[in-house]
Chain A
Amino acid sequence: MRGASSGKGYELSNTDEILVDRCQRGENKAFELLLQKYQRRIFHLIYRITQDPDVVEPLAQEVFMKAYKSISSFKGDSRFYTWLYRIAVNTCLSHRKRGFLEENRERQLEANISEAFPKISSMQSENPEQLFMKKEFLRFLLNCVNRLPEELQTAIILREFTGLNYEEIADVMQVPIGTVRSRIFRARSRLKEMMTPYADQNIM
């Protein structure tokens, strides 16, 4: 069976559209299914932006609550996931403005890489020096991403970590596509400049 009738004059053709339509008719179970589908992606996005595992769950809860309350006003003029990501990005940026400290992010970044390091060593048989170099490099790279200006950081995270295309990023950030092109280009240029210490080594 292709699509389903929505009563809106056109057929719904994908899972999100059908689930959103059911949510708008009052089916809580449909929203539960949307939550199940996007929860991990939202956790991932929030973590990339905030770099703080302690705030991921409460912020994600806030994101889904906002989405649940405003689902009736979703007109379908964008994809559901870009609408949801927009809520997530704005929620993270608001959280940041509420007094997020740079020092905490630095410390958390170090802790995160330390926790991740065992995964690297178990997957690759390299000597300790090489592994150490890789660990330092990864830490430094993520630090650089988080030191980018907010608009450049959001654009590059949405592109590299979330996999959205330019049109979708424009929808999430509510800017023209030309602005997205510019921001991603500048973000990459800035990252390369920051990674200059590793330029002469066989990494970059």
Chain B
Amino acid sequence: MSCSQYGPFVSLYLDDELEKDELETFIDHLGDCVICQKEIESLERLRSWLRTADAFQGFPEPNIDKAVKDLFQEDLNENEASGIQSLIAQEASPSRSRKKRPRARRLSWLNPFGPSFSFPFQKAWQVALPLVVAVFAVVWFYDRPGDWVDVHELSSAQVLTTALPEKDTQEEDLYVIQHTMHQPWVSLGDELPRIQLASGSSR
């Protein structure tokens, strides 16, 4: 049985949830009301047993390391999955999606500093670089180190001999290299007049 007037106050009193003026009124009432006093005692006992049951039932012990690992692994899996899905979606609709791709990305491999780095004249650099590499490769192929002759060390004409491994002749082919101060560098292998000399002599 609960007090008809202050029944609900008992529960609030137990939880310290009464407002100040409500509390003052209720404490005054408790002085005269045995029913409210017994009700407080009853709810205190209920609370005590609930907490006893709670303590003795316990709960499963968590594993913090596993929880962290599962949490961030699951997040990583979801990111990978969504990344793969968006890649598949892009492949499925090539025209529109590829048009939206920034142009810089196609040439990103030419950016020596990485795709996210941009610098002045980047596009010009990305076009010129392969050309420079190609020219250098051609020049390198035809002008092997060691075969250049410094023009200042030569007289007006000097004959150099070289053995060409791919040629299978008894006579050495001779290439005349004419250097003048005004002629550009040439390398062995250019089409130059051949002069057959007696072996061992050179001029």
Contact = CB atoms under 8 A, between A and B. Distances in A.
Interface string B129-159: 0000000000000000000000000000000
Interface in A127-162: 137-138, 141-142, 145, 159-161
Interface in A172-204: 181, 184-185, 188-189, 191-192, 195, 203-204
Contacts of B59: 40, 43-44, 47-48, 53, 56
B90 to A, nearest CB: 24
B198 interface: no
Interface stretch (B68-76, B81-89, B104-112, B163-171): B68-76
A181 B53 contact: no
A112 B60 CA distance: 11
Interface residues of A, number: 45
Main secondary structure of the interface of B (DSSP, over half): helix
B29 interface: no
B99 to A, nearest CB: 32
Interface in B1-37: 2, 8, 11-12, 15-17
Interface string B26-63: 00000000000000001101110111111011111110
Interface of B: 2, 8, 11-12, 15-17, 42-43, 45-47, 49-54, 56-62, 64, 67-68, 70-72, 74-75
28 contacts: A35-B64, A35-B67, A40-B59, A43-B60, A47-B57, A48-B54, A48-B59, A56-B59, A56-B60, A61-B70, A65-B71, A68-B71, A116-B56, A116-B58, A117-B56, A119-B56, A138-B52, A138-B57, A141-B50, A141-B53, A142-B53, A145-B50, A161-B54, A181-B8, A188-B46, A192-B46, A203-B49, A204-B42
